Amino acid sequence: MDIEIKSVEIGNGETISYRESGEGDKKLVLVHGNMTSSKHWDLVIENLPKNIKVYAIDLRGFGNSSYNKPIDSLKDFSEDLKMFVDKIGIKDFYLAGWSTGGGVAMQFTADYSEYVEKLILVESVGVKGYPIFKKNEKGEPIIGEFLKTKEEVARDKVQVVPILNAYKNKDTNALRKIWEMTIYNHNKPEENRYKEYLNDMLTQRNLVDVDYALMNFNISNEHNGVVMGTGDVSKINIPTLVIQGDRDLVVPKSMAEGINETIGDNAKLVILKDSGHSPIIDNLDKLINLMVNFIE
């Protein structure tokens, strides 16, 4: 399926790049995760039926989108998404978010449920965000002690500094090692595509800001160790498909279970066997089938 790369300027002065493909009345908006961009949705876009019109955005600070003003929250991204869909004139769409993009999609749906027909969450961050633990001298997490500032995040030598250094040095070999330890630890993309993904990762300009936003994302009714929840999850009242790999090393299954339990009767949790944080690589056919059947 042909994919066209476009861009629009939204109301806050940011330029949002996006991939557009397909045709038909059913519209699907795709939101990528951390360290990626719309590029990483390419296999999904290529394998969806042509009668689904797809829009995959580059969030602010990723891919070809601008990063004029730093973000502090996933809500900043979801507000960008609102301005984007208004700018291109679409409503009544299906919304899918992968990983960090799942948090953005949940926030958008909570705030603008009238825009979204159904919600698809793929290996999504949980309703209480993704807190980062402080580390001891051995680099091991100190359970219950959380990082709380951007400065602390930028100094985290385990989860953050190696990625920042790889970005700074344009070291795709280091990024490859990180992804093969955490995400592509069973299956890997075809080599040419893999190289494109790695080069695409280097476009990210907001790693620390995104990690900070994930720590402070909490739409539950409880405290997550960093901030009190907003309770916004109670406003998600549309059919929601929660897809979780049984061997995801990045997002624990408990986060998917928490989403499923908190959204309640409107949610359906599907556990993908032999699938990690990227079912796009580990279990593409099953992922496509789940998405298409849920949309149709």
pLDDT in tens, 123-150: 999 999 999 999 998 889 999 999 999 9
pLDDT in tens, 181-240: 999 999 999 999 999 999 999 999 999 999 999 999 999 999 999 999 999 999 999 999
Q: To the nearest whole number, what is the mean pLDDT of the chain?
A: 97
The predicted structure's pLDDT at residue 47:
97
pLDDT at position 174 over 90? yes
The predicted structure's pLDDT at residue 248:
98
The predicted structure's pLDDT at residue 2:
87
The predicted structure's pLDDT at residue 31:
99
pLDDT class of 1 with cuts at 50, 70, 90: low
The predicted structure's pLDDT at residue 89:
97
Q: Which of 142, 117, 107 is nearest to 29 (CA)?
A: 117
Report yes or no on whether pTM surpasses 0.75: yes
Domains of the chain from N-terminus onward? 3-295 (3.40.50.1820)
